Structure 1
Amino acid sequence: MTTDTTAVATTQVYRVWIRATPEKIWAAITDPEFNSKYAYRAPGFFDLKKGGSYHATATAEMKEFAAANGFEVPDTIIDGEVLESEPPRRLVQTWRMLMDPGTAAEPYTTLTWEIEEAKMQAGVCKLTVTHQLTDAPATARMTAGTEDEGAGGGWAWILCDLKTYLETGSAFAG
């Protein structure tokens, strides 16, 4: 008998290079009109000041999927607080996923978005997302996109779709 003891890192770092301006990337992250058009399509709302609120809301499709599979999804699926906001370069926020009882019971985690112009090519920016997941193993598995949690592709999926959307105008599941 074997036991899978694979640990998920308590700090996850993701990088993607995007052919877009820092301002366009910032808007894609922070504007619900924009952030509802890629990845899981859940609009995220930011009050972009220190101490401001953050929350993402469930889509009708999420609620329909949950109902068809015998569970409920709350209206607010992620919440948190803005810790730092330096448009269009840096956003630090707390982050807690509420759509799963296991992740909702864990403490807030810290998510940092950093946007910088790439030195290697004009018109390209590097987006680095660092997620500090101390004492949040269920959230770490979800955001890593591990199959055992049924979470889809996690941050890798979100960032790849963000890049695709900004560069082509179309998201993966369009």
Structure 2
Amino acid sequence: MDSDTFVYTTYIRTTPDELWKALTDAAFTRRYWGVAFETEWTPGAPMVWDEGGRRTADPEQVVLAAEPGRLLSYTWHSFTPAWAEAVRLDQDVYERLAREPRSTVTYVIEPSGDTVKLTVTHGDLRPGGMMKGLIAEGWPALVSSLKSLLETGEELPEPPR
């Protein structure tokens, strides 16, 4: 069954506060994601995505919820021609992504014994859309690298393109 939501859950040997820091601190996010977020991490605050010096800003890129150590939610980034060129998307793929509705991502952080349960929910996706297919591969790889970084001090190597 197709839906407008993708959900991924994992358990990480860390604390809720360390996981929050890894999701919001630019030094952490650059290591496992290659992206730094410029924002105040308060509801309604604008977000700028900085990927290797390429900045993506849009008034609709905002923090939706921010409860340190518990919950983080924001709108997904805008697809711009400059972004598509930088990540080497062909024109057809870029145009298809740009036509899809803006989506949202939510992280729920829950203590679970000596670990923390992290649930990533990426919603408001077009059922059967291109973005849903891309994130179905992207989120597991990204969260695995985050988990590795927090548990071992080393992020996973970027897979070959």
**TM-score interval for Structure 1 and Structure 2 normalised by the shorter chain:** 0.7 to 0.9
* Conserved 8 A contact 2:65-2:73: yes
How much identity, in percent, do the aligned residues show? 31
The residue matched to 2:62 in structure 1 has which SS? strand
What's 1:170 paired with?
154
Partner of 1:52: 45
Cα offset, 1:143, TM superposition: 0.6
Q: Which of 24, 28, 40 is the matching residue for 1:30?
A: 24
State which of 91, 110, 115 in structure 1 corresponds to 2:109. Answer: 115
Which consecutive residues of structure 2, in runs of 5 or more, have no partner in the other structure?
85-93
How many positions carry a matched residue from both structures?
143
Q: Is structure 2 residue 153 aligned with structure 1 residue 160? A: no
| Superposition misfits of 4+ residues, deviation over 3 angstroms | none
1:10 aligns with 2:35: no
Note the alpha carbon deviations across 1:66-86, whole angstroms, 9 max, x for none: xxxxxxxx6328972111111
RMSD over aligned CA atoms reads 2.3
Which of 104, 118, 136 is the aligned partner of 1:127? 118
Question: Which amino acid in 1 is paired with 2:117?
Answer: K
Answer yes or no: is 1:90 the counterpart of 2:71.
Answer: yes
TM-score by length of 1: 0.73
Aligned partner of 1:75 among 44, 55, 60 = 55
Secondary structure at the counterpart of residue 29 of structure 1? helix
- Equivalent-residue separation in structure 1 for 2:77 and 2:36 (angstroms): 15
Q: In the alignment, is the contact (CA less than 8 A) between 1:93 and 1:112 conserved in 2? A: yes
**Structure 1 counterpart of 2:17, one-letter code:** E
Q: Kindly indicate whether the alpha-carbon contact (under 8 Å) linking 2:105 and 2:122 is maintained by their aligned counterparts in 1.
A: yes
Distance 1:77 1:104 in 2: 15
Structure 1 or 2, whichever has the larger Rg, is 1
1:20 to 11, 14, 20: 14
> Offset of 1:155 from its aligned partner?
0.3
